[in-house]
Amino acid sequence: MHFTPDSDGPTTEPEGFCASGDAAAASVSPDEIARFGAIAREWWDPTGPMRPLHAMNPLRIGWIDRHLPLRSKKQSPLTVLDLGCGAGLASEALAKAGHDVLGMDASAEGINAARRHIEDNPLPTGSGSLAYRVGSAEALVSEGVTFDAVVALEIIEHVTDPAAFMIMLAQLVKPRGHIFVSTMNRTPRAFAFAKVGAEYIMRLLPIGTHEWRKFVTPSELGSYGRHAGLRLDDIAGMTPALLGKSWKESRDLGVNYIAAFSRE
């Protein structure tokens, strides 16, 4: 499987792929799509509304890459699905790490911004391939497409049914494949920092970005994974450092955390 970026989507796609967008599906909230689509043009501004993700991204991608199997130069790159990719912040970083990446999001505005950015900033030599598609997880499941790894970063707290979402992630990964989920814990501290502090006090995120009641606790995420037939391999906290300009891995799962699952 090999992807190449262009303004119209993949030029070479796995069997069953179509370039057109898919209808909104059960995992997709129209309100959430509209909210993030409205800021798509500012997604790549490191000082804009997505600046916390810019600061967090090196930690997320480094942690994911460390948990993926090593590949020799004779082996083909790992195929990675970045689901809920927004404007492609993680997708580009994963491709630069040498993986063949498909970034998928239900927001056409986000995908258009992702395509524009990669056109203006081509991947360096040695990168994997990168393509984008507007659509939903349900569409890929119905097509029977699977990947070596599936990445869902800061997305599960925005879907309509997180348990069903984890089942879909399991259906999208190959046997012995890997799934990575990052989200926020439903704790009073997360409410104070991620909701009140980030949105209302420090204005790091647009107001309304998060709904605290939809945050997912580590025990809930582990339970969703088990019911989806997945094994929880590792989990780590993500903590701001240097006034939020960078993030570090920690044992503190009280606010932001990332988890690695594998399929038997």
- In b/e form, how buried is each residue of 141-180, taking b as 16+ CB within 10 angstroms? bebebbbbbbbbbbbbbbbeebbbbbbbbbbbbeeebbbb
CA distance 21 to 183: 26
First vs last Cα of the chain: how many Å apart? 22
What pLDDT digit, counting tens, does each position of 24-53 carry? 344 666 766 776 677 788 899 998 888 889
Supply the pTM of this predicted model.
Answer: 0.84
In the chain, the DSSP E strands lie at 79-83, 100-105, 130-134, 147-153, 173-184, 230-241, 246-250, 256-263
153 is in an annotated binding site: yes
Residue 183's alpha-carbon distances to 2, 15, 76, 188, 228, in angstroms, are 29, 32, 30, 15, 18
DSSP state of 70: P
Which residues make beta-bridge pairs with 237? Answer: 250, 257
Question: Which two three-digit tokens encode residue 132?
Answer: 């984008």
Q: Is the pLDDT of residue 217 over 80?
A: yes
What pLDDT digit, counting tens, does each position of 225-238 carry? 999 999 999 999 99
What is the reported pLDDT for 207? 57
Question: Which two three-digit tokens encode residue 96?
Answer: 């630069």
Task: Give the lowest-confidence range in 63-72, 88-97, 220-229.
Answer: 63-72
Residue 161 φ then ψ, to 5° = -145, 95
Which residues make beta-bridge pairs with 80? Answer: 101, 149
CA distance 261 to 181: 8
- In b/e form, how buried is each residue of 33-62, taking b as 16+ CB within 10 angstroms? beebbebbeebbeeeebbbbbbbbbebbbe
**∠ CA 107-109-111, rounded to 5°:** 75
**HSE toward the beta carbon, residue 130, CA cutoff 13 A:** 31
Mean pLDDT score of the chain, rounded to an integer? 84
* Higher-confidence position of 212 and 141: 141
What is the reported pLDDT for 204? 53
Q: Domains, the chain, ranges and CATH?
A: 30-263 (3.40.50.150)
Q: Is the pLDDT of residue 220 over 60?
A: yes
Are 256 and 239 spatial neighbours (Cβ–Cβ below 8 Å)? yes
